[in-house]
Structure 1
Amino acid sequence: MQTKTEVEEASRRRASPSRRVLDALLLCTGDMEHLDEHMKDAIIEQLPHAEVSGGLHGCNGMLVSLLMGVFSSAGDWYWWLLLPVCLCSATCVFLYSGLTSLLVHWDLPVAVFPFNIIILLFLLCTGPNNPYFPHHPAVPPGVLQPNGTQVIAVEVMYGIPLGVGQIFACDAMGPSLLILGAVVLYSPLLATHALLGSAVGTLAGLSMAVSHDSLYSGLSGFNGALGCMAVGGLFFTFSWTTHLFAIASAFLSAYADIALGNLLGTVGLPACSWAATLTATLMLLLTGSLAAYSIPIGQVKAPEHNLNSRRRQWTAGNTLERDSVV
């Protein structure tokens, strides 16, 4: 008897030329199952397939590439920058693998630790006056400005959605709204916490009288957005308890970002997303009421999916308890 695959292959050979062209196009769309199977044996480091297909390694490489382009002062079309971009992005994969073997003992995510480490190492190695790969020095957010307490309310409000766009180094309103829309499609709960965290980060920036550029461009809000998203449904099941902790995480991430920005800015380095990454890691290490809502790292998915899974577990547990009583 022919297997299902053999039958499908035979029918594909008998199909019309137009049908074969359509089938070929479908190989490059959707889940691309054939390419997915092929790539399992083309992976150099043989890392877990779930990590690769889930984009965990590509995320850090993408962020490194974005920030290298943003900070580069060699022009918009400096093609030689592709060399360190490829090298640093590939290095993120090896660093991710090494950190995984360390953090797995505490069931902690590697998250964007590789991105934060690699981008700082690159900027330290090159410097603003490097003849081949110069970059713009970062300015501390707490730098004094004339009339530092007089802000434009509308521009501050614009900075809240821009804080979500700054997660991907975007400081334009249109693309930032598209990014926010994409987050809404993936998870409305995550998008809500992103905006909430950005608003909290902006409020923290106002309370510390950070530079107007940080407020207006969304730089004050993006670490707050990341910290709020991490606790408000991503690594923890959503509830009123985790919602309050998410707000606290947003405040802590925002204030830590200001402190790190002032510290690293003295040597011309950006704080990147160190504040949110360290804050989320701290929250995952906490014991007590928050730990009860923690999701095992291997089971983290969209917040709504995490919430439904926890509800099913609660329902199953209550059913077993009632059956045991009967």
Structure 2
Amino acid sequence: MWMESKREVEEASRSRASFSRRLLNSLLLCNGDMEHLDEYMQDKLFVLQLAVWGLRGVTRVILANNPLSGALILAALFWASPWQGLLGTLGVLASTLTAVIMGQDSAEVTGGLHGFNGMLVSLLMGVFSSAGDWYWWLLLPVCLGSATCVFLFSGLSSLFDRWNLPVTVFPFNIIIILYLLCTGPNNPYFPHHRVTPPGALEPNATELLAVQVIRGIPLGVGQIFACGALGPSLLILGAVLLYSPLLAVHALLGSAVGTLAGLSMAVHHHFLYSGLSGFNGALGCMAVGGLFFTFSWRTHLFAIASAFLSAYADIALSNMLGTMGLPACSWAATLTATLMLLLTGSLAAYRIPIGQVRAPECNLLSHSQWKAGNTLERESTDV
């Protein structure tokens, strides 16, 4: 009797252990780049493949590459605004289909590299449009602008590849500025809001609310997708966490650094509360903190410096472009990350070749294996 009860307890503990192991393995299959999904989708319908490519393109906006994270981000956008969610979906599909028709590199298409610029263009067109939601004429420039991103991406790639640099969101920043310059605030078909320089706003008349400032830190992650609602922003942060916990930490850290930079420059409280002060800092910190550089204490400090530089550059560019009624978009983080990748010296040893960039944890593991292999090789050649 006692032996039977003991055997039952052991079997129950083994079953619980096996269930926990299966659950952990399932979770591990869902994070990172999910490369196994590409092999599974090879013989599936084109529509299903296009959906996966598009979802990867969605996550490329936050420097990730995970279709499940892309699904979470799309859900967050539809939660915040169904109209913005529709525009974002249309933008990523238009640019991805254009890349397929143009015969762009299949690895770039399947990895979502031709989708994220189109998505950003469509989202920002919707944000700056003064015609309101569900203005169907806006779908025309959304499709054209998203498709044009593919041409710019392809052309800039041949130039940037010489220095082993990523094109990132240069096409988006160029297209959205050209669109706003072409239309203008009083355009009868595609009017948009005129941007006011932060320095031209009225001085802060009320005292600073610490709770609102803290709330603005996760909103800074959401503002990467032009999302200013707290719930959807937390869901977007969760999507980053699913892809890479290390990248999520740097996203929050960069947004906090950007908010601190805004406080030091006494920017208008609206920019602090809405997360607009933090999103360039978040992008700059994520780019350096484990994505394009192997994570270490040196690159971690380097990522914080990149976040500060991105945030201060954003304030300066916002004041300069705002005089023409134009937004600074993500020019600050894009230029800062490109500058960081061009640096030489000891930090250059931590830089990851563009073709080998994966999730930060995978980059860290690959770097450790490479160092171990080099050590063994040196020891074997010693006489």
Please give the TM-score of this superposition, normalised by the length of structure 1: 0.88
Q: Deviations over 1:103-161 (max 9, x none)?
A: 10000000000000000000000011100000111222233434357311110000000
Deviation of the 1:84 alpha carbon: 0.5
Given residue 191 of structure 1, which amino acid in structure 2 is its aligned partner? A
Of 88, 92, 104, the residue aligned with 2:145 is 88
1:154 and 2:154 aligned: no
Please identify runs of 4+ aligned residues in structure 1 that moved more than 6 A.
Answer: 36-42
1:129 and 2:129 aligned: no
Of 246, 255, 274, the residue aligned with 1:198 is 255
Q: Distance in 1 between matches of 2:288 and 2:45?
A: 32
Given residue 170 of structure 1, which amino acid in structure 2 is its aligned partner? C
**Any idea what SS the aligned residue of 2:115 has?**
helix
Partner of 1:216: 273
Deviation of the 1:33 alpha carbon: 2.1
Deviation of the 1:29 alpha carbon: 11
The percentage of aligned residue pairs carrying the same residue is 75
Two-structure CA RMSD over aligned residues (Å): 2.1
1:33 and 2:42 aligned: yes
Alignment of 1:34-183 (within 5 A): 34-35=43-44, 43-148=100-205, 150-183=207-240
1:268 and 2:325 aligned: yes
Contact 2:204/2:268 (8 A) holds in 1: no
Partner of 1:325: 382
Deviation of the 1:79 alpha carbon: 0.5
Q: Distance in 1 between matches of 2:197 and 2:269?
A: 12
Partner of 1:12: none
Contact 1:254/1:275 (8 A) holds in 2: yes
Contact 2:122/2:146 (8 A) holds in 1: yes
Partner of 2:370: 313
Q: Distance in 1 between matches of 2:370 and 2:203?
A: 57
Contact 2:183/2:190 (8 A) holds in 1: yes
Given residue 175 of structure 2, which amino acid in structure 1 is its aligned partner? I
Contact 1:237/1:306 (8 A) holds in 2: yes
Partner of 2:354: 297
Deviation of the 1:211 alpha carbon: 1.0
Partner of 2:34: none
Contact 1:96/1:110 (8 A) holds in 2: yes
Given residue 69 of structure 1, which amino acid in structure 2 is its aligned partner? G
Which deviates more from structure 2 when the two are superposed, residues 187-196 or residues 314-323? 314-323
Q: Distance in 2 between matches of 1:144 and 1:200?
A: 23
Alignment of 1:246-261 (within 5 A): 246-261=303-318
Of 280, 292, 304, the residue aligned with 2:337 is 280
Kindly tell me the number of residue pairs found equivalent between the two proteins.
Answer: 299
**Any idea what SS the aligned residue of 1:194 has?**
helix
Q: Structure 1 residues 70 and 270 mapped into 2: Cα distance closer, same or farther (>3 Å)?
A: same
Q: Distance in 1 between matches of 2:325 and 2:339?
A: 27
Contact 1:148/1:211 (8 A) holds in 2: no
Q: Distance in 1 between matches of 2:324 and 2:144?
A: 24
Which deviates more from structure 2 when the two are superposed, residues 136-145 or residues 117-126? 136-145
- Name the one with the larger helix percent: 2
Deviation of the 1:35 alpha carbon: 4.2
**Any idea what SS the aligned residue of 2:187 has?**
coil
Contact 1:103/1:110 (8 A) holds in 2: yes
Please give the TM-score of this superposition, normalised by the length of structure 2: 0.75
Contact 1:149/1:209 (8 A) holds in 2: no
Contact 2:100/2:109 (8 A) holds in 1: no
Q: Distance in 2 between matches of 1:145 and 1:250?
A: 27
Q: Distance in 2 between matches of 1:106 and 1:36?
A: 37
User: Which 5+ residue runs of structure 2 have no aligned equivalent?
Assistant: 1-36, 51-96
Deviation of the 1:30 alpha carbon: 9.4
